[in-house]
Amino acid sequence: MSVVDHPSAPAALAPIGAGARSLAEVAYERILDAVLDGGFGPGDRLIMDRLAEDLGISRTPVRDALRRMESDGLVEAATKGFVIRMPGAEDVLAMYQAREPVEGWAVRMAATRADEVAESITAALRRLADVSGTTMPGSEAYRANRDFHRTVVEAAGNPVVVDCFDAIWGRGLAALSFAESARHGTTVDVDEHRVLADAVLSGDPDRAEAEMLAHIRRGVGSV
């Protein structure tokens, strides 16, 4: 993998103020936002001293954030720091394949509870449309997309399946795949998600599952 120093810190890395959350958690989110917004790309080197200075915090929480990112598969250790990973085709395919049984089953169950879950799914779709209709950064679009899918999974009423969803989407591959799609000009397709929402709210489990699986498989081709 080629390693390049990023010429300057992205605007997302503003100093961290005092708050209830740990500095390491906030640092993780700020660096992740920079990846999703295009400030950092595959192969870019992340230097602890530089990040700590940009964020206005000590090296320790930055180190903790980067180690967590390494565990999540977002970065790899390199000389004098870490580098942003380039998602491999096989890894990305494996992630999308894992989504199929989790989200495919969940959407079937959600369709059987269409009347109960209509409000939450409609609200999630509205938030996704609001973000996609603006010039919001990629981090906002990523979270709105993830939250829509999570709402559908929550609608199945099985907290263990929600945990499975979080495990898949919590891995770095999900964020890196989204960022890579954005780099190639692919954006969140609100109309496609609207079709998916309509399928869930139709109350037809077969239709809902078919739409979800088709949606996931189209996602593989966009990376």
Whether residues 77 and 107 share a domain: the answer is no
For range 2-21, the mean pLDDT: 51
Q: What is the pLDDT of residue 39?
A: 86
**Which of 74, 93, 100 lies closest to 220, judged by CA?**
93
Please, what is the average pLDDT of the chain?
A: 86
What is the residue range of 27's domain?
4-84
**CATH number for the domain including 62?**
1.10.10.10
pTM: 0.80
| Euclidean distance between CA atoms 37 and 223, whole angstroms | 16
Residues 28, 111 share a domain: no
**Do 61 and 127 sit in the same domain of this protein?**
no
Instruction: Among 49, 84, 119, identify where a domain stops.
Output: 84
Higher pLDDT, 115 or 42: 115
CATH number of the domain that residue 211 is part of: 1.20.120.530
Q: 3-state DSSP call for residue 19?
A: coil
Q: How far apart are CA 178 and CA 38, in angstroms?
A: 11
More confident residue, 122 or 189: 122
Do 46 and 136 belong to one domain?
no
Give the pair of three-digit tokens for residue 107.
């959407």
Do both 113 and 70 map to the same domain?
Answer: no
